[in-house]
């Protein structure tokens, strides 16, 4: 069953008088619990695609469905609510909050978005930190963690709310080869454990190999 349905979307950016066609007439569908990668060179539209699926941006035309929701029709508040309840994000630069420890970073969505009690939060956070293998680093601040550990914390933060879909934009770009492969394998393990759909973008051939479904983008078109 398709979790993500993309119908003929285009995204055009207007920069002064110049029009940049980031995506052109793209249609695809992504099944639940799949492990999908968007690949392609820089500027091919990978990040735009993830932003549109992740309700961070809106297509110029076309429709996007995530589950039963037509996410391109959401307003600002609905988008924020949907992101908080159904989506998880992993970023290239980890984007952990520097003033929070690894534990607190993972706890953040439960506290600020889900408003869960302290005891429930603690149970969930410790469990997921254990799953991603950084339980012993839980009290460290991001600047005290290695790149791999930071991204593990980011994976844990993305999964803590049990989203239907996790979007990861170049999650391995700032990691060495070994760490990159480890993170992708961790994501796949998490997919198996939580039955969450993972969509990530990469241009690293080694990382691509780990994906189950690969969509290649070139100049904003699916090839």
Residue from 10, 91, 135, 140 touching other proteins (CB under 8 A): that is 91
Considering the complex, what minimum distance in angstroms separates the CB of residue 153 from other proteins? 13
Considering the complex, what minimum distance in angstroms separates the CB of residue 57 from other proteins? 5
Note whether 178 binds other proteins by CB under 8 A: no
CA 175 to chain centre: 16
Where do runs of H (alpha helix) occur along 32-75? 46-53
CB-wise, 141 or 189, nearer to other proteins?
141
With contacts defined by CB under 8 A, name the span among 17-25, 32-40, 85-93, 177-185 that binds other proteins.
Answer: 85-93
φ, ψ (nearest 5 deg) of residue 122: -60, -45
Note whether 194 binds other proteins by CB under 8 A: no
Note whether 51 binds other proteins by CB under 8 A: yes
Distance CA 102, CA 137 (A): 7
| Interface pattern 98-137 for other proteins (x via CB under 8 A) | xxx-------xx-xxx------------------------
Note whether 80 binds other proteins by CB under 8 A: yes
Considering the complex, what minimum distance in angstroms separates the CB of residue 181 from other proteins? 25
CB-wise, 51 or 137, nearer to other proteins?
51
Beta strands 69-70; 87-90: pairing state: unpaired
Note whether 201 binds other proteins by CB under 8 A: no
Is the C-alpha dihedral spanning 143, 149, 151, 155 positive or negative?
A: negative
Beta bridge partners of residue 64, listed in sequence order: 6
Note whether 170 binds other proteins by CB under 8 A: no
What residues between 55 and 74 interact with other proteins by CB under 8 A? 56-57
Where do runs of H (alpha helix) occur along the chain? 46-53, 76-86, 102-108, 118-132, 147-159, 177-194, 205-208
**CB contact set of 142 (below 8 Å; sequence gap of 6+):** 94, 96, 97, 98, 100, 102, 105, 150, 153
Considering the complex, what minimum distance in angstroms separates the CB of residue 60 from other proteins? 14
Distance CA 204, CA 100 (A): 31
11 token code pair: 């995204």
Distance CA 72, CA 113 (A): 21
Residues that bind other proteins (CB under 8 A): 51, 54, 56-57, 76-77, 80-85, 87-89, 91, 93, 95, 97-100, 108-109, 111-113, 157-158
């Amino acid at each position: 069953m398709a979790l993500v349905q993309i119908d003929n979307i285009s995204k055009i950016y207007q920069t002064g008088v110049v029009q940049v066609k980031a995506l052109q007439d793209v249609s695809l569908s992504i099944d639940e619990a799949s492990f999908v990668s968007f690949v392609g060179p820089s500027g091919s539209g990978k990040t735009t695609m993830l932003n549109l699926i992740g309700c961070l941006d809106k297509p110029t035309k076309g429709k996007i469905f995530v589950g039963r929701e037509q996410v391109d029709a959401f307003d600002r508040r609905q988008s924020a609510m949907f992101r908080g309840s159904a989506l998880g994000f992993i970023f290239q630069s980890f984007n952990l909050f520097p003033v929070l420890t690894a534990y607190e970073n993972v706890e953040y969505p439960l506290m600020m978005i889900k408003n869960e009690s302290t005891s429930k939060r603690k149970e969930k956070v410790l469990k997921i930190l254990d799953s991603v293998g950084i339980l012993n680093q839980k009290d460290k601040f991001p600047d005290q963690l290695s790149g791999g550990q930071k991204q593990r914390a980011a994976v844990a933060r993305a999964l803590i709310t049990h989203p239907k879909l996790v979007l990861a934009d170049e999650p391995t770009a700032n990691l060495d080869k070994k760490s990159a492969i480890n993170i992708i394998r961790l994501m796949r393990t998490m997919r198996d454990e939580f039955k969450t759909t993972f969509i990530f973008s990469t241009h690293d051939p080694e990382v691509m190999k780990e994906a189950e479904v690969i969509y290649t983008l070139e100049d904003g078109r699916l090839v």
